[in-house]
Amino acid sequence: MHAEFFPVLVTVRPDDAEYAPTDADPAAARILRAGELRAGDLVLAAISRGRDTLARTAYETEAYRADPAPYDRSCPCDVCYLAAHEPGPWVVLSAGYPWPAHDPWRVDDLALAIPHRRPFCTSQKDTAK
């Protein structure tokens, strides 16, 4: 069984008017790499990596369901255009919701998300399926 530990400070989700309410159970949230997110996972926050500080949660103003798709460097939308000039493999987690553009993430970037109907493996035998 493989476990990975991330030195991240997970903060409480803001509840002011800027953030849309969510009825999701925060106890179900997991830290996942963007490349591991699957369709239907509820993305709550990005994990910002500080240079000299502990990484922290940066909550989305509106949680959204991931709908991963391959990243297209030739996409003309403003967000994809900016990402095209950055190195590394990317994945698009959303295409138009909750923003009117794509949402590209580096595949190794960390996200706080609630997996959608995904069992967690508990033994080596479970991972072989």
Q: pLDDT (tens digit, 9 = 90+) per residue, 29-68?
A: 888 999 999 999 999 888 887 666 677 777 777 888 999 9
| HSE-CB for 129 with a 13 A CA cutoff | 8
Which pTM value belongs to this model?
0.76
Give the pLDDT confidence of 105-124 residue by residue, as tens digits.
999 999 999 998 755 544 34
Strand partners, 103: none
Q: Determine the straight-line distance between the first and last CA of the chain, rounded to whole angstroms.
A: 14
Look at the alpha carbons of 88, 89, 95, 97 in this order and tell me if their dihedral is positive or negative.
negative
Closest CA to 47 of 36, 38, 60: 60
Q: Does residue 12 contact residue 82 with C-beta atoms inside 8 Å? A: no
Strand partners, 8: 55
